[in-house]
Amino acid sequence: MSDYVVAVDVGGTSMKGGIVTGSGEIAATGRRPTGAEGGPAGVVAAIRSFVGDLADRGAAALGTGPAAVGIAVPGLVDDATATALYAANLGWRDVPATDLVPLDVPVLLGHDVRTGGLAESVLGAGRELSDFLFLPIGTGIAGAMIIGGAPYGGTSGWGGEIGHIPVFPDGEACACGQIGCLETYASASAVGRRYSARAGASATAEQVAALTADGDPVAAEVWEEAVEALSLALATYTLLLDPSAIVLGGGLAEAGPLLSDPLAVRLAKRLAFREAPPLRRAVLGVGAGMLGAALLGWRAAGVPDAGASWSPDVPRTPVVS
């Protein structure tokens, strides 16, 4: 068997890919547009071509084709049939994993956030934890619930939609059609949008964080509301799932203690009869999805414990060239 897999993490607008060896070495990486504007057939063709090109690079460097392929995709995934059922931003429905791969090798498909959670679980901030929440806070918010050592997607793969739980039941309308969703207060986009609306000047979440640190009162108010919304969602998650930790990732977590310090205080205040789980920072960054896809690839190749012996330093190397 050849000693590498091809791994691809498909996002809404771009995808990241890599060649990952059995010892966790990232032999090559790449990035490419998803081509969503070309419709679902264009996305499928783009992924297929990307996988093929990465396999060609692997063959040129390592002498053989890949042992398997792992792919992380947004939307809804049926693990049992390895089919990408649905993704609003890519427009596709019922795409079999084999359509995404131009080679005759095993392939495993995973949900993007849960695949990132798998990587944090095996290689990252959740390495020794069997039950935790991985919460990347970016353009949107979705969580990967790690339960009994594995990402859990619910009955039909729709689990982990913590970004759309009603934290303020009479609150603001969310783009999803519901009222008071966490995401409409606390995603990176929401923080930028809500500041811009109040200050009359456009700003990104990163800029709002910087303004908050500088004492800007409008920015501080928006930041505080995001933190309060997050504390409610995490109190709810804690009371229901009793996780051993909450691993914060995504763009908003880049703010570090500016986010985690007040969040820890507010979370503890919302919990009267139990302690709050510790908040940890995700360590794999934007590479989590691709590394998780590599783990899926190794599972497809029949090596389910791949990753266990990989060096913890591996994830800290830049994974996207």
Q: Kindly tell me which of 12 and 33 has the beta carbon lying closer to a copy of itself.
A: 12
With binding defined as CB under 8 A, does residue 244 bind a copy of itself?
yes
Closest CA to 220 of 262, 178, 180: 262
Of residues 27-86, which lie at the interface with a copy of itself (CB under 8 A)? none
With binding defined as CB under 8 A, does residue 128 bind a copy of itself?
no
- Cβ-based neighbours of 37, under 8 Å, separated by 6 or more: none
Asked whether 4 and 19 are in contact (CB, 8 A), the reply is: yes
Which of the 8 DSSP states describes residue 195?
H
Instruction: For 227, list phi and psi in degrees, rounded to 5.
Output: -65, -40
Copy the structure tokens of residue 114.
């849960």
Q: Kindly tell me which of 165 and 291 has the beta carbon lying closer to a copy of itself.
A: 165
With binding defined as CB under 8 A, does residue 271 bind a copy of itself?
yes
With binding defined as CB under 8 A, does residue 316 bind a copy of itself?
no
With binding defined as CB under 8 A, does residue 168 bind a copy of itself?
yes
Copy the structure tokens of residue 225.
């509301």
With binding defined as CB under 8 A, does residue 138 bind a copy of itself?
no
Residue that has been written with the tokens 């010892």 in this structure: 23
Number of residues that bind a copy of itself (CB under 8 A): 45
- Nearest-angstrom CA–CA distance, 180 and 161: 14
With binding defined as CB under 8 A, does residue 279 bind a copy of itself?
no
Segment contacting a copy of itself by CB under 8 A, of 31-39, 169-177, 286-294, 312-320: 169-177
Closest CA to 186 of 128, 233, 126, 151: 233
How many CB atoms sit inside 10 A of residue 102's CB? 16
With binding defined as CB under 8 A, does residue 148 bind a copy of itself?
yes
Asked whether 291 and 7 are in contact (CB, 8 A), the reply is: yes
Residue 137 in 3-state DSSP?
A: strand
Give the contact letters, 224-243, x = binds to a copy of itself (CB under 8 A), - = no: ----x---x--xxx-xxxxx
With binding defined as CB under 8 A, does residue 167 bind a copy of itself?
yes
26: number of CA atoms within 13 Å, CB side? Answer: 25
Segment contacting a copy of itself by CB under 8 A, of 52-60, 176-184, 251-259, 298-306: 176-184
Closest CA to 181 of 192, 170, 189: 170
Q: Kindly tell me which of 47 and 181 has the beta carbon lying closer to a copy of itself.
A: 181
- Nearest-angstrom CA–CA distance, 303 and 50: 24
With binding defined as CB under 8 A, does residue 250 bind a copy of itself?
no
Residue from the set 270, 281, 303, 320 that interacts with a copy of itself by CB under 8 A:
270
Q: Kindly tell me which of 154 and 257 has the beta carbon lying closer to a copy of itself.
A: 154
- Nearest-angstrom CA–CA distance, 224 and 219: 8
Of residues 177-196, which lie at the interface with a copy of itself (CB under 8 A)? 177-179
Q: Kindly tell me which of 154 and 318 has the beta carbon lying closer to a copy of itself.
A: 154
Q: Which amino acid is at 131?
A: D
Q: Find the helix or strand (DSSP H, E) in which 112 lies.
A: helix 112-123
Residue from the set 57, 111, 114, 164 that interacts with a copy of itself by CB under 8 A:
164
CB of 274 to a copy of itself, least distance (A): 5
Given the rule CB under 8 A, which residues bind a copy of itself? 130-131, 143, 145, 147-148, 152-162, 164-169, 174, 176-179, 228, 232, 235-237, 239-244, 270-274, 277
